[in-house]
Structure 1
Amino acid sequence: MSQARVGALIDAERRRGRGALSKRNGRFEKETREEIDDGWGSLESLEALTTNIHIEKPRTILTRNESADISFDRSINPYRGCEHGCVYCFARPSHAYMGFSPGLDFETEIFVKEGAAQLLERELSAPNYVPKTIALGSNTDPYQPVERRHRVTRSILEVLARANHPVGIVTKSALVLRDLDLLAPMAEKGLVKVAISVTTLDRRLARLMEPRAATPDLRLDTIEKLAKAGVPTTVLTAPIIPAINDDEIEKILTRAHAAGAREAGYVLLRLPLELRDLFSEWLMTHFPDRARRALGLVRSTRDGKLYDSAFGRRMKGDGPYAWMIGRRFEVAAARLGFSRSKLRTDLFEPPRRAPQQLALF
């Protein structure tokens, strides 16, 4: 790592409990700012980073996509940014659109989408709306710590439950268990699945990669409690990071299946835009002995680059290493008996629309 890059890192005590190491500027910013000690120990007097909440009032809440390599065409993200601080999060570059750093700002400047439930009711009640599974939390975690107070995810689930609308949830948090009173009845109707991301069984590695997410054991416990409540549960071994957690695929799948997960998926590490440098500096700081090999293996799956956004390659990669990861996952999943199921859409009942003024002509 260059000296300039080291100088850009935020002091370890100030960023304690955070994933990224710096506040690297977003790609749209024209100026670069760095904290530099003036020789008088001025940086030592700076306070630890805190989480700041911003209220966002979006015009719509459903996001549409036409991606050929994901299983849903619509999603909801109740929050922008994520306090879990997962250093590998592919959503980090989206914070640049808000004028914030995809680094430490992504996990300390959190946007709450106010009025999400009302917007969702309006969009579901549109005359031409056709129900398909909504992915809840495809970008940032819908059960990150801020949800305890703001309950945006809870309000969205209440709308979906009343409308008998299918939803797939992705989270790393045990907070999802709070909403079992909604999820269990929806599961009885075939309307919900919950995917728990388990990236490692190593507590130390988890602390470094995803410092404010639930511990690995707590995630497995969450899978078990969801399954016992009748909620179909998926384990996501995502992302698989070469030379860091790629040796754990079979162990994670085995433990998750024993806990009650019956579906499984994986994604190979993705490093779009600013995340390339953010993740590289994290690797070089915490795993200097493995950094070169890890990044080399990533390049081997992306035709020599650290990222390839092409459909069909961005999620799973290409080449011998990517092929080996895919076959290991498939063999382990088949041996354990993981399978796939679909959610129902035929029970959908559109929310009652507000009275409309009749047209004169």
Structure 2
Amino acid sequence: MSDPVTDPEMDDIETGTLPLDAWHRARGARMVAFAGYHMPIQYDGIMAEHLWTRTSAGLFDVSHMGQLLLSGDGVVEALEKMLPADVASLGEGRMRYSLLLNETGGILDDLMLTRRADGFYMVVNGATKYDDIAHILDNLEDEITLNHMDEQALLAVQGPKAVEALARIVPGVDTLVFMTAGAFDWDGVPLWISRSGYTGEDGCEISLPAEAAEAFAERLCAEPEVKPIGLGARDSLRLEAGLPLYGHDLDPETSPVTADLGFALSKRRREEGGFLGAEPILAERAAGPLFKRVGLFVEGRQPVREGARVLEAIDGVEGRVTSGGFSPSLQRSIAMAYVPAVLANPGSKIDIEQRGKRFAAEVTAMPFVPHQYVRKGA
């Protein structure tokens, strides 16, 4: 799922205001432009915020994301025509990661889908949400209703102490396990909370009315474990967790097979097909991809960034680094890249060139830092 990057060219983009804009500024956040909004990139420094989240609990404002509710007769069938997920078997309060695809099998966006009593709740990326809405509407029958829940804010509290802190404010939230969700109440404010996130840590995402967001954020940050964390640290956390970033690691030219997201193609849907882009995706899956997304340990401490060349090529087509940085947790340079599939096994040696300088790298399994999700029976 997408986050802002520190790009000085974005400072001139016309931006809107999110519900917590003034709250972030009052706490000293450095704001940057992304997806049509000003977003907090950091408060006390990306490294410190990253490590705080890994050891305690960080509060992230992700209200730029698109929150959608799809309902009506035939909504399951409509979603299964668009998504490669097994929507029909998704129980109430259960979540599933899935993908919006084009006809050639390219990824238009990645998303989270949850079945609720009132329909299917979908969270899509902020930078693509309006294109996503248009794509979904183009593929829906008239009897299906799509509600863009733009009156809702979205917060995420992440880290090993996140659920403990949240449960003091919202009793019962600790009964959720990874990839489950439910309706809760905070002083009369309705909350929709999922035990999920984008950092690899345990934690929750909280959808709530925008007018209640500041009071809720203030109350949560009154807990000693919780600090507000900028989206710069969210990006470094998701990289360590091996989670792809749409618009960087994923795009309309990349298929789920090449992106190593085969788990998003459910077994029944692989066997039956019938979703947008199924034919080319299943053909590629059978034949094997030419390139594959992998994790890399990069020699030295200097990070390699998006756009660096992977010098190993197939028929003159080189691979590429799509995300990279210095890992605060591991104290070494890491990256995600597309490399020839024959070199995608852990231990394979890769050569990278960035601004005329060569770097040696080794393919490694992801995540770089183990996930800390709390699953059923844990």
Is TM > 0.5 for Structure 1 vs Structure 2? Answer: no
From the CA coordinates, give the structure whose radius of gyration is larger: 1
Structure ranking higher in strand proportion:
2
TM-score, normalised on structure 1? 0.27
Structure ranking higher in helix proportion:
1
